[in-house]
Amino acid sequence: MKKTLFSLLLLPLLALLTCCCAQNTLPESGTHFVQDALQSYVDSGILPGAISILYKDGVYEVACLGYADVDAKRPISLDDVYMQCSQTKGFCGVTVAKLVEQGLVSLDDPVSKYLPEFRELWVLESADNDTKVLKKAQNELTIRMVLNHTGGFPFECSAKRRDVRGGGWSGGAPLRQVASIAAESPLMFEPGTRVLYSNTGIDIAAAVVEAVTGMKWEKYLQKEVLDPLGMSSSTFWPSDAQLETQIQMYRTFDDRPAQWVEENSWEQRPYNDSHVFASAGAGLWTTASDQLKFYKMLMNLGIGDNGVRILEEDTVKNLLAVSSRPEGMEGYSLGLTAPQVDSEDAWFGHGGAWNTNCFVNWHKKQLRLWAIQITDSRKPWEQDLQKAQNLFFETELDNSAAAAYTGRTE
């Protein structure tokens, strides 16, 4: 009886390990820092499911923790789809960086050069009850400003309000319409003088890409970034088959199991019908396997693990890996969190609202990726996760296993 009970308890754990390991063909570090640190949170149900990928010295520590669907006991895997939210911004930054490389745009070009509706902008000077006082903007709005959140735009424009059906990151309106509405709305401050985190600004940058290339931004992204890197699971419209593998969304608590959440008001079901519009500020669905390809490209200064070059080295170093904001406004580059001053210890990347994130250090060739879908900021495992990540990067690893992968491409 005891043997049977032990077997029944062991089977779910074996299923979890088998699911992740079966899909992980990466050279392994042999360490289990994250798994060891967070397993108790999984066992208690506090951590529903998450994926951790750590990389250095040519080897990876991959941990698939818990479930993509707790009720169905479906183990989480590297190929499960999830909403990466604001991590989409970095993809927009890369598309603009490509146009800069080709001499088609300059970061200090006025947005109005490509989108004429931005020639005259107004700034909200004061608001008192129903009265608003506006003044004409004195500073020229540039592409650099809309990409680094110094343009003065609110988080979302009126076309994507949450109380309107279809409102949200991948609902609401086409990019050109979002840009037009933003141009007609008052700015929150004089362009280039302050910081206000804004999906709208990133959408405006994507609208510039459309004007320059003559293509829908999502089509240009697919052609120039997603397809070359082999990111076949990344899309603004996940198929019904993909959604069968969705990492479900949860609300977390400090002392009891996480609670399933059907949807978030920013991202409304159905996820792939005609109400969904691509948004560069947030909205791209992906998998851990796909996201790893994008951030490894950034870590490798523009070249993917499959040998395809997306950007030149200097472009990544000077436009994406270091801040493009004026001094004293904290670090941010083109759709990516980046340091004001580059150094050997500098990381750049981005996070998403459902608590996903990925950051890379191009100097040391290091990467840390975390994929989870939770709707709140409560993360009782966070300190233990950070300690485990630090242990990985501090530990001297045996990377002999990486030699077998040298020269391999997808």
Given a cut of 60, whether residue 148 has pLDDT beyond it is yes
- What is the chain's mean pLDDT, rounded? 89
Instruction: Dump pLDDT digits (tens) for 294-317.
Output: 999 999 999 999 999 999 999 999
Indicate the angle between helix axes 33-44 and 382-394, nearest 10 degrees.
160
Apex CA 72: angle with CA 82 and CA 85, to 5°? 15
Among residues 179, 198, 215, which one ends one of the domains?
215
Among residues 194, 215, 236, which one ends one of the domains?
215
| Residue that is written with structure tokens 């994926």 in the block | 51
Instruction: Dump pLDDT digits (tens) for 47-62.
Output: 999 999 999 999 999 9
Asked if the structure places residue 327 within a domain, the reply is: yes
370, HSE (Cβ side, Cα atoms, 13 Å): 23
Residue 160: pLDDT band with limits 50, 70, 90: low
Query: What does the block give as tokens for 127?
Result: 């608001």
Alpha helices in 133-268 (DSSP H): 143-147, 175-184, 199-213, 217-221, 227-229, 240-243
Which residues, at least 6 apart from 196, have a Cβ–Cβ distance to it below 8 Å? Answer: 149, 150, 152, 153, 154, 155, 188, 189
Asked if the structure places residue 198 within a domain, the reply is: yes
Is 347 found in the same domain as 226?
yes
Asked if the structure places residue 14 within a domain, the reply is: no
- With b for 16 or more beta-carbon neighbours within 10 A and e for fewer, the 79-99 pattern comes to ebbbbbbbbbbbbbbbbbbbb
Compute the radius of gyration of the chain from its Cα atoms. Answer: 22
Cα 129 from Cα 146, distance rounded (Å)? 29
CA distances for 349 relative to 11, 154, 211, 337, 369, angstroms: 37, 22, 27, 5, 10
pLDDT at 318: 97
- The residue range of the domain holding 360 is 24-88+219-405
Which residues, at least 6 apart from 263, have a Cβ–Cβ distance to it below 8 Å? Answer: 249, 269
pTM for this one?
A: 0.90
Query: What does the block give as tokens for 175?
Result: 């990019």
Is 227 found in the same domain as 204?
no
CATH assignment of the domain containing 365: 3.40.710.10
Q: Which of 106, 67, 32, 18 is nearest to 245 (CA)?
A: 67
Asked if the structure places residue 3 within a domain, the reply is: no
126 or 356, higher pLDDT? 356
334, HSE (Cβ side, Cα atoms, 13 Å): 27
Is 154 found in the same domain as 37?
no
Asked if the structure places residue 144 within a domain, the reply is: yes
DSSP, collapsed to helix, strand or coil, labels residue 226 as helix
pLDDT at 407: 45
Asked if the structure places residue 11 within a domain, the reply is: no
